[in-house]
Amino acid sequence: MSDLKSIIQPYIDASLKAFQDLDADKTSEFYADDAVLIEAGNGCTYGKKKITKFNQQMIEKSGKTTTEMSNQKYSGDEEIIAVSSDFKSELPSKGLTFTGKSYQVWKRFDDGYKIIYDCCTMDRD
């Protein structure tokens, strides 16, 4: 396991678990106050408060999900860690599967790492 992965993976796992537990507030705790969330081709959301609202809407639309990450790559240093990956999300209640790519930039703050940039592309299978 790379040093960067060992640093950031616990944060990634916890943020994904919060989303899968349908907890928008907990999910949003992993975002910096001035973070940007980009849905490629659909728009962007700026700031933690608006990202919390966005996450709540996504949770309400999708319901319980399971997500698998693959092909993760890590770059940067201990201050800023960038992570790119492929993902597959299943929405059993909707009978849908989405695949896509994710790119996140995490920055170290006094209270741990927070997402400052979150971009994803999604394709419906």
Predicted local distance difference test score (pLDDT) of residue 59: 86
Range of 20's domain?
Answer: 3-124
Give how many domains the chain has, as a whole number.
Answer: 1
Model-level pTM?
0.90
Q: How far is Cα 38 from Cα 50, in angstroms, rounded to an integer? A: 12
Nearest-10 Cα torsion for 43, 5, 85, 59? -50
Instruction: Give the tens place of pLDDT for each residue, 21-51.
Output: 989 999 999 999 999 999 988 899 999 999 9
Above 70 in pLDDT, residue 124?
no
Instruction: Give the tens place of pLDDT for each residue, 46-83.
Output: 999 999 999 999 888 888 888 899 999 999 999 999 99
Predicted local distance difference test score (pLDDT) of residue 125: 54
Instruction: Give the tens place of pLDDT for each residue, 73-109.
Output: 999 999 999 999 999 988 887 788 889 999 999 999 9
Average pLDDT, integer, range 1-23: 91
Length, in residues, of the chain: 125
Q: Where is 120: in which H helix or E strand? A: strand 112-124
Cα 54 → chain centroid: 12
**CATH code, domain with 53:** 3.10.450.50
